[in-house]
Amino acid sequence: MAQTTLTLNRTGDKMPIVGFGCWKVANEDAENTIYTAIKNGYRLIDGAADYGNEVEVGRGINKAIKEGIVKREEIFVTTKLWNTYHSKDNVRAAFDKQLKDLNLDYVDLYLIHFPVPLKNVPIETAYPPGWYQPGEDKVQLERSPLHELWPEFEKLVDAGLARNIGISNMNVQLIMDLLTYAKIKPSVLQIELHPYLQQSVLVKWVQEQDIQITAYSSFGPASFVPLGVDSAKKAAPLLQHDDISAIAKAHNKTPAQVLLRWSVQRGCAVIPKSSSEDRMVSNADVTSWSLPEDAMAKITQLDLNLRFNDPSGYGFNLPIFS
Ligand SMILES: NC(=O)c1ccc[n+]([C@@H]2O[C@H](COP(=O)([O-])OP(=O)(O)OC[C@H]3O[C@@H](n4cnc5c(N)ncnc54)[C@H](OP(=O)(O)O)[C@@H]3O)[C@@H](O)[C@H]2O)c1
């Protein structure tokens, strides 16, 4: 039978293996885009404070609930804590703001967006603040360790406000350390994952810890070219890659579906974003069929260890993946 969910540790919650990503969904479109995604069958919405559209994303979710398309418990809402709120004194206020913006009573999964503790910017001063202090053009760190941040996440679980908690953009070293003091183990690690950045050792080790993986930016450079990221501009587009196109043609699928299916078949969830209803629908159709082993093996050969979402690629002195 087709696998459509991943089971999360501790709660046993079934996380949909295909969700909808909210990054770069324009504020004026977000309510309708999210509503349309849910109407077309998406049951996981992946947002973040940093995307600056949680009010509108929340409106889309609530509209779908109000119209009876889904019940709250049938939709899995993920969001993420931004880097400027890592201090144990700032987590709860940041979370409360997000929950209020989303107009929900709880989230299904709350992630630490990046292991980068940036100097706090008060919510009233700028929201979401991005990477800099207002009026400045350099990143500034603050001394907010992960071992103090994680217990604040655990309190959100205890309070019934986050059903599951997890992490993003972390490597084995950090996760190994986190597991030495976590009372509640992370349920999910969200990472950049596509054929140019396969991270097979990380994926295998994390899955062995009973932590599920969500792959982001499944189409590789496509998402980063418009941001002017150098490595993405130089890379051959994955969606038009000869091997991906040939596999797609041979199986009567689109290249996007092949890229998404490749991750799903490795046991990882995917969260594609699209502004087009047709692409939304086809992106969701990746669980009822599979790629044969030779196609998976062909894609394995495309690994370049090439990352696009690296803060140092945006010009910040934050080489967190080194
Ligand atoms: N944790 C993190 O640090 C992190 C970082 C990045 C992303 N994410 C999450 O992951 C989600 C997905 O990643 P992403 O937004 O970087 O990239 P993505 O979903 O891999 O790609 C989005 C781009 O691909 C296009 N696209 C979508 N479906 C397509 C199709 N079937 N054929 C051709 N083009 C297609 C979209 O354009 P159209 O809209 O025009 O279709 C858009 O330009 C985000 O929305 C966000 O929720 C998390």
Chain segment 255-281, per-residue pLDDT in tens: 999 999 999 999 999 999 999 999 999
Q: How far is the CA of 240 from the centre of ligand 1 (A)?
A: 15
Answer yes or no: is the C-beta of 169 below 6 A from any ligand 1 atom.
yes
Q: Give residue-wise pLDDT tens across range 152-184.
A: 999 999 999 999 999 999 999 999 999 999 999
The answer to whether the beta carbons of residues 142 and 110 sit under 8 Å apart is no
Give how far Cα 151 sits from Cα of 83, 128, 130, 156, 183, Å: 16, 23, 24, 9, 8
Q: Which atom of ligand 1 lies nearest, measured to the CA of 283?
A: 31
What is the predicted pLDDT for the residue at 313? 85
> Ligand 1 atom 23: the closest Cα is on which residue?
223
Q: Please state, in angstroms and rounded to a whole number, the distance separating the CA atoms of residues 61 and 301.
A: 39
What whole-number distance in Å separates Cα of residue 82 and Cα of residue 52?
11
The amino acid occupying position 228 is G
**CB contact at 8 A, 276 and 304:** no
Atom of ligand 1 at shortest range from CA of 218? 20
pLDDT mean over 79-88? 98
For ligand 1, say whether the CB of 310 is within 6 Å of any of its atoms.
no
215 forms bridges with which residues in the sheet?
191, 270
Ligand 1 centre to CA of 216 (Å) is 7
Question: Which of 116, 223, 281, 282 to mutate for ligand 1's pocket (most ligand atoms within 8 Å of CB)?
Answer: 223
Measured by CA distance, the residue closest to atom 29 of ligand 1 is: 279
Ligand 1 centre distance from Cα of residue 258 (Å)? 15
Q: DSSP strand E in the chain: where?
A: 5-7, 14-16, 20-21, 44-46, 76-81, 107-112, 162-168, 188-192, 212-216, 269-270
The pLDDT of residue 1 is 65
Does the annotation flag 113 for ligand binding?
yes
Crossing angle, helix 277-284 and helix 255-265, to 10 degrees?
Answer: 40
Domain 12-311, CATH among 3.20.20.100, 1.10.1200.10, 3.40.50.620, 3.40.50.150: 3.20.20.100
- Residue 274 in contact with ligand 1 by CB distance below 6 A: yes
For 214, the token pair is 């969500």
Query: Could you tell me the distance, in angstroms and rounded to a whole number, from the CA of residue 221 to the centre of ligand 1?
Result: 10
Nearest CA to ligand 1 atom 45: 21
Measured from the CA of 280, which atom of ligand 1 is nearest?
28
For 25-77, write each residue's pLDDT tens digit.
999 999 999 999 999 999 999 999 999 999 999 999 999 999 999 999 999 99
Q: At what angle do helices 293-300 and 242-250 cross, to 10 degrees?
A: 170
For ligand 1, what atom is nearest to the CA of residue 48?
47
Rounded Cα distance between 95 and 63, Å, is: 22
| Residue 71: Cβ within 10 Å count | 9
Mind giving me the DSSP string for 77-127?
A: EEEEE-GGG-STTTHHHHHHHHHHHHT-S-EEEEEE--S--BPP--TTT-S
Report the nearest atom of ligand 1 relative to the CA of 23. Answer: 45
Determine which of 18-22, 48-52, 226-230, 307-311 has the lowest per-residue pLDDT on average: 226-230
3-state secondary structure (DSSP) of residue 297: helix
Distance from C-alpha of 56 to C-alpha of 35, rounded to nearest angstrom: 10
Q: pLDDT digit string (tens) for 107-137?
A: 999 999 999 999 999 999 999 999 999 999 8
- Annotated active-site residue 51? The verdict is yes
Residue with the nearest Cα to atom 18 of ligand 1? 217
Closest CA to 229 of 129, 286, 307: 307
Q: How far is the CA of 185 from the centre of ligand 1 (A)?
A: 28
Query: Taking all residues of the chain, what is their mean pLDDT, rounded to a whole number?
Result: 97
| CA distances to 67, 109, 165, 209 from 187, in Å | 31, 8, 6, 10
DSSP state letter for 237 = P
Given ligand 1 and candidates 44, 131, 219, which is best to mutate, with the most ligand atoms within 8 Å of its CB? 219
Tell whether the model's pLDDT for residue 8 goes beyond 90: yes
Pairing of strands 212-216, 188-192: parallel
Ligand 1 close to Cβ of residue 282 (< 6 A):
yes
Can you give the residue ranges of every domain in the chain?
12-311
